[in-house]
């Protein structure tokens, strides 16, 4: 799997003339070389439904006069660049207008994506219709006739659908479309049948050819769906709505699945479909480095002009980032994560709601800003290598998870749980021994926490917690780490105070954070609170809890809060690679996160606990040796001034 990929969108209207008329083999090759690109995903079929090659399974774009797909593959292969081939699977606007009865509909007969046929946009197909056979024929044609280096199928996944094909199928089975459980089973079966049909279409002709089904998100906890792919492509355009926290959350889960994966960003200022938009070169440098630091290859999204010429400004921009990636690749191949903390994903626990998403997002921010080494895991993951497992906010404990966590704590591991996490499904008891007993869901929101410890940045106080909480009492073997305080009353029509909420009544309402044999429990949805409010006290409270539970941190570095650090083991080179990154996104326009400046950091020092003696420490890719001290199982070194991304190699 190549490191320096481009995803070349080409969704092109039939109303535009001269499609591909300015395509030049030489110019195409020159731009790939300018961009230091070693793989480019090219289009066989777009969302408009048109093919970009001669076809009997589809219709060639009416304004295209030659085999553009074949010309691109030939040009790229001639200079050693791979060419995965893209087909729009879920969208086909040409066919949607001919067969609207094959489109996904919700229970109110509303269409998916564009709401009607008088609004510009696309409409999504149900795979439980004859459309599936048409798509399979299109895929077979491409695989049989072209030297594709992979197949990328877009806009697919388990979809809720009440089209008449799905309604007829569920009634044929003796059920009813109002039976949600049976409908969900049908939607799962529909996607599995789609995936098997595509797999057969590809691998019956070319066994082993890479295939990826893109749904925009790899669901944590759905390993069965992930394994339908030969590899994973994590779509995460920071400026396109994903933000800079999204990719680390996805990547820290994907690396643990043992599959090749890449991070997909874009060259756009905003997101897909933007012509004439460019992000700062420093942003791409940071985003590509973030992929490397998380064990991923990289894909950068671009969109080809309808006339078929590649944009020099885009490939100069991409080249600035990929020139650096090319120099770093040798230290980033075949790596595995080294981590102290396992974040058990709230999404993977089976809760698809916004509270779970916020719990995961807040937890990742807490871990990144505290410079902890962490992986995101699900209930199937092996926990034996982690010192601490985090249960964020919403994870109730069933019997299989209880047994897994009990085995973890029996070997000395610790748990950090918040909110409803750690409770039995009915909320009546803790399934882990935190030295506390649950009473009831707190009636007060917000409420307050007065810790029994000092925060690094603030004097002790009663700190507001906006999220839902639990009332608990201390058990005989518990240690109270701070108390809950309630407000005088909740904000209501005849009981309100000031502009936002009522202050604390300053009375002890029971423990707010406790420590027991299993670990530490905090009685609020603190990770959701941090995701939504970004409170400094909440961050420092959680960092205190983590530091108290960790026997030792494998890596300690004095990075600023926005710094990122990871540690990747490379067994083939008998070395660890310590990644340090720093950039500070700022908000521009309406919630667009932008990176422009990459300040130089100096005075950064790191300590790494190592399992065996280290022979040398050096900067990569520069090769500059670093002086280091090795004592008590730790290696200590200071970095010279650096910006954006620096790798430090610990050679055993």
pLDDT digits (tens, 9 = 90+) for 45-84: 999 999 999 999 999 999 999 999 999 999 999 999 999 9
CB atoms within 10 A of CB 400: 10
The b/e string for 480-493 (b: 16+ C-beta within 10 A; e otherwise) is: bbbbbbbbeeeeee
531, 493 Cβ separation under 8 angstroms: no
Confidence band, pLDDT 50/70/90 cuts, at residue 238: very high
214, 235 Cβ separation under 8 angstroms: yes
DSSP type of residue 148: -
Q: Which of 465-469, 491-495, 511-515, 619-623 is the least confident region?
A: 491-495
72, 82 Cβ separation under 8 angstroms: no
pLDDT digit string (tens) for 592-633? 889 999 999 999 999 999 999 999 999 999 999 999 999 999
| The predicted structure's pLDDT at residue 588 | 85
Return d(Cα 637, Cα 146) in angstroms, integer.
52
Residue 410, SS3?
helix
Q: Tell me what the mean pLDDT of segment 484-509 comes to.
A: 94
DSSP type of residue 268: S
| The predicted structure's pLDDT at residue 235 | 96
Q: Tell me what the mean pLDDT of segment 359-381 comes to.
A: 97
Return d(Cα 271, Cα 266) in angstroms, integer.
7
Helix 131-145, helix 180-203: angle, nearest 10: 20
| The predicted structure's pLDDT at residue 587 | 86
| The predicted structure's pLDDT at residue 591 | 79
pLDDT digit string (tens) for 436-451? 999 999 999 999 999 9
| The predicted structure's pLDDT at residue 216 | 87
Residue 352 has pLDDT above 80, yes or no: no
pLDDT digit string (tens) for 552-605? 999 999 999 999 999 999 999 999 999 999 999 998 888 788 999 999 999 999
Confidence band, pLDDT 50/70/90 cuts, at residue 538: very high
Q: Tell me what the mean pLDDT of segment 206-217 comes to.
A: 96
| The predicted structure's pLDDT at residue 353 | 85
The pTM score is: 0.95
Number of alpha carbons in the 13 Å side-chain half-sphere of residue 573? 19
Render 474-527 in DSSP notation, one character per residue: E-TT-EEEEEEE-BSS---SSS--SSS-PPB-----SEEEEEETTEEEESB-HH
How distant, in Å, are the alpha carbons of 262, 396, 448, 541 from that of 445? 42, 21, 9, 19
432, 409 Cβ separation under 8 angstroms: yes
CB atoms within 10 A of CB 12: 24
pLDDT digit string (tens) for 456-474? 999 999 999 999 999 999 9
pLDDT digit string (tens) for 257-304? 999 999 999 999 999 999 999 999 999 999 999 999 999 999 999 999
The fraction of the chain above a pLDDT of 70, given in percent, is 100
| The predicted structure's pLDDT at residue 525 | 98
Average pLDDT, the chain: 97
pLDDT digit string (tens) for 395-440? 999 999 999 999 999 999 999 999 999 999 999 999 999 999 999 9
Return d(Cα 62, Cα 55) in angstroms, integer.
12
DSSP type of residue 625: B
Q: Which of 247-256, 350-359, 509-518 is the least confident region?
A: 350-359
- Give the residue ranges of DSSP H helices in 255-345: 281-293, 312-328
């Amino acid at each position: 799997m190549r490191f320096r990929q481009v995803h070349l969108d080409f969704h092109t209207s039939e109303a535009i003339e001269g499609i591909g008329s300015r395509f030049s083999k030489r110019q195409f090759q020159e731009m790939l070389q300018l961009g230091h690109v070693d793989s480019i995903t090219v289009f066989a079929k777009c969302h408009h439904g048109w093919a970009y090659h001669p076809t009997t399974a589809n219709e060639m774009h009416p304004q295209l006069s030659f085999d553009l797909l074949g010309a691109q593959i030939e040009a790229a292969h001639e200079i050693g660049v791979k060419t995965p081939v893209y087909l729009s699977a879920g969208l086909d606007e040409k066919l949607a207008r001919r067969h609207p009865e094959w489109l996904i509909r919700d229970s109110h007969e509303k269409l998916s994506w564009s709401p009607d046929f008088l609004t510009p946009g696309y409409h999504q197909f149900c795979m439980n219709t004859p459309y599936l056979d048409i798509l399979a024929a299109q895929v077979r044609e491409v695989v049989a006739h072209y030297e594709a280096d992979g197949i990328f199928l877009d806009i697919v996944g388990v979809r809720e659908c009440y089209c008449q094909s799905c309604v007829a199928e569920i009634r044929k089975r003796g059920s009813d479309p109002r039976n949600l459980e049976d409908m969900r089973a049908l939607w799962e079966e529909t996607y599995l049948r789609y995936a098997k049909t595509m797999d057969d279409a590809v691998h019956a002709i070319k066994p082993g050819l890479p295939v990826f089904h893109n749904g925009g998100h790899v669901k944590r906890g759905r390993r069965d769906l992930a394994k339908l792919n030969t590899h994973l492509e994590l779509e995460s355009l920071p400026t396109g709505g994903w933000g800079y926290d999204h990719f680390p959350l996805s990547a820290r889960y994907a690396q643990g699945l043992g599959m090749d994966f890449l991070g997909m960003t874009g060259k756009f200022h905003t997101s897909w479909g933007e012509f004439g938009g460019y992000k700062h070169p420093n942003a791409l440098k940071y985003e590509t480095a973030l992929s490397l630091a998380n064990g991923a290859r990289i894909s950068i999204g671009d969109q080809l002009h309808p006339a078929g010429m590649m944009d020099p400004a885009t490939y100069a921009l991409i080249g600035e980032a990929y020139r650096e990636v090319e120099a770093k690749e040798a230290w980033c191949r075949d790596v595995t994560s080294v981590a102290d903390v396992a974040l058990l994903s709230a999404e993977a626990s089976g809760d698809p709601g916004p509270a779970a998403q916020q719990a995961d997002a807040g937890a990742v921010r807490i871990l990144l800003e505290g410079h902890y080494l962490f992986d995101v895991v699900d209930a199937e993951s092996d926990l034996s290598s982690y010192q601490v497992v985090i249960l964020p906010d919403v994870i109730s404990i069933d019997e299989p998870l209880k047994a897994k966590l009990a085995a973890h704590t029996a070997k000395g591991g610790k748990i950090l749980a918040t909110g409803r996490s750690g409770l039995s499904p009915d909320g009546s008891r803790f399934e882990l021994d935190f030295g506390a007993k649950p009473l009831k869901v707190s009636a007060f929101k917000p409420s307050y926490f007065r810790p029994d410890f000092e925060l690094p940045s603030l004097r002790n106080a009663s700190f507001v917690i906006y999220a839902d909480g639990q009332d608990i009492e201390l058990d005989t073997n518990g240690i109270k780490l701070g108390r809950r305080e309630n407000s005088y009353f909740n904000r209501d029509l005849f009981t309100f105070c000031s502009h936002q909420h009522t202050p604390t009544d300053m009375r002890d309402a029971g423990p707010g954070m406790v420590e027991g044999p299993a670990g530490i429990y905090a009685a609020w949805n603190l990770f959701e609170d941090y995701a939504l409010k970004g409170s400094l006290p909440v961050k420092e409270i959680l960092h205190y809890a983590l530091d108290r539970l960790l026997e030792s941190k494998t890596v300690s570095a004095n990075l600023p809060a926005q710094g990122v650090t990871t540690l990747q083991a490379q067994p083939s080179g008998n070395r660890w690679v310590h990644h340090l990154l720093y950039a500070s996104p700022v908000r521009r326009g309406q919630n667009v996160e932008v990176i422009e400046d990459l300040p130089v950091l100096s005075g950064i020092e790191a300590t790494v606990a190592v399992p065996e003696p280290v022979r040398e420490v050096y900067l990569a890719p520069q090769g500059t040796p670093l002086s280091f001290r090795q004592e008590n199982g730790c290696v200590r070194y200071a970095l010279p001034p650096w910006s954006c991304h620096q790798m430090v190699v610990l050679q055993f």
